[in-house]
Amino acid sequence: MRVLSGIQPTGNLHLGNYLGAIRQWVAMQDAMGADDQCLFFLADLHALTVAIDPADLAASTIEMAATLLAAGIDPARAILFNQSRVSAHAELCWILQGTARMGWLNRMTQWKDKAGKNREGASVGLFTYPVLQAADVLAYQATHVPVGEDQKQHLELARDIATKFNTDFAVELFPLPEPLVSAEAPRIMSLRDGTAKMSKSDPSDMSRINLIDDDDLIVQKIRKAKTDPEPLPATMAELEARAEARNLVTIYAALSGEAPAEVLARFAGQGFGAFKPALAELAVATLGPIRDRLTRLLDDRAEVGRQLAEGAARAHALAAPTLRAAKQAVGLQIG
């Protein structure tokens, strides 16, 4: 198995990112066998497809890398790097732009959503974003790609590109990557509105728990989380119409590693006056150590940079033979 995934370095990570994505990465890394390989990267080239502040991008890349390390990504077992430092991504992307079709990219829902009505004003990079993503995956001949539901379409495209390239140039170079959409990954909702996803773009900081938040802030955010006056029921089905209550139970279960039904079995009949302090205590116990590691790492950003450089060197070595074979397949002179 060769597992690869990326995340855009767009600022502070929150509980939704942790429970919905990063924790799955750590679990995959921990489950790897001796012949398997895990690669995780900060997609800093993808970040250039929308307006960015260069200083912010540089800082976010280091901060997100530090967060991944703090959350348990271990450079001894997984390769962690930033995309732009491994030139194979951009080089293979250009080659694959000869293979990808306008019609395929035109159908991408992320392109349609992000460009909105202003397609003429969107960057070319936003349109070809999925080709770079395909290059990310195919450069390492990755077999499994842990992603959220919304990225499945991009993986499908990577498979189409791989198939067409293999056929057009009569090679068996790119294996078809499988998306891994974890059934266990919960969708965490805003603490202020149980129908909206917890997101870094929510203007209210009280809507999310950031992985950098201190203990008091975590407790305060949970205490102020929107709820209702009813006691907790005995089954999740009875929480169907109570989005905020359901979200807090989902968070508790994800943090404790239990099924939501087990959590309810313990708290049924109790109100939020009892449930919230228990959730706050659990959140502090689980997230506190991650935050403490993160704070230490942020005190030595140069060291995080060195770790990324080391990861990039290993990633480069893994991608080099594939890039070389792709160049050879299309007839580029490689000396």
Catalytic positions, please?
A: 114, 197, 200
Sheet harboring 79-82: ordered strands across?
Answer: 79-82, 37-42, 2-7, 144-146, 178-180
Rounded CA-CA distance 11/64 in Å is: 7
In the bound state, the residue with its beta carbon closest to ligand ADP is 20
Nearer to ligand TRP, 249 or 318 (CB): 318
Binding site for ligand ADP (CB under 6 A): 7-8, 10, 16-17, 20-21, 148, 187-188, 197-201
Least CB distance to ligand TRP at residue 155 (A): 7
For residue 139 the two structure tokens come to 């450069």
Contacts of 154 (CB under 8 A, 6+ apart): 108, 110, 130, 133, 134, 147
Nearer to ligand ADP, 45 or 88 (CB): 45
Beta strand spans in 22-142 (E): 37-42, 79-82
187 binds, among ligand TRP, ligand ADP, none (CB under 5 to 8 A by kind): ligand ADP
b/e 19-53 (16+ beta carbons within 10 angstroms → b): bbbbbbbbebbeeeeeeebbbbbbbbbbbbbeeee
Least CB distance to ligand ADP at residue 40 (A): 12
Least CB distance to ligand ADP at residue 18 (A): 8
b/e 78-112 (16+ beta carbons within 10 angstroms → b): bbbbbbbbbebbebbbebbeebbeeebbeebeebe
Binding site for ligand TRP (CB under 6 A): 4-8, 43, 46, 133, 136-137, 145, 147, 151
20 binds, among ligand ADP, ligand TRP, none (CB under 5 to 8 A by kind): ligand ADP
Least CB distance to ligand ADP at residue 180 (A): 11
323 binds, among ligand TRP, ligand ADP, none (CB under 5 to 8 A by kind): none
Rounded CA-CA distance 156/136 in Å is: 14
Nearer to ligand TRP, 135 or 249 (CB): 135
Least CB distance to ligand ADP at residue 38 (A): 16
Q: What is the DSSP string of 212-226?
A: T--HHHHHHHHHHS-
Nearer to ligand TRP, 8 or 250 (CB): 8
Contacts of 89 (CB under 8 A, 6+ apart): 45, 83, 132, 135, 136, 139, 319
213 binds, among ligand TRP, ligand ADP, none (CB under 5 to 8 A by kind): none
Nearer to ligand TRP, 46 or 276 (CB): 46
137 binds, among ligand TRP, ligand ADP, none (CB under 5 to 8 A by kind): ligand TRP
Torsion angle in degrees (nearest 10) through CA of 248, 249, 252, 257: -150
Nearer to ligand ADP, 119 or 187 (CB): 187
Three-class SS of residue 149? helix
Least CB distance to ligand ADP at residue 297 (A): 20
157 binds, among ligand ADP, ligand TRP, none (CB under 5 to 8 A by kind): none
Three-class SS of residue 282? helix
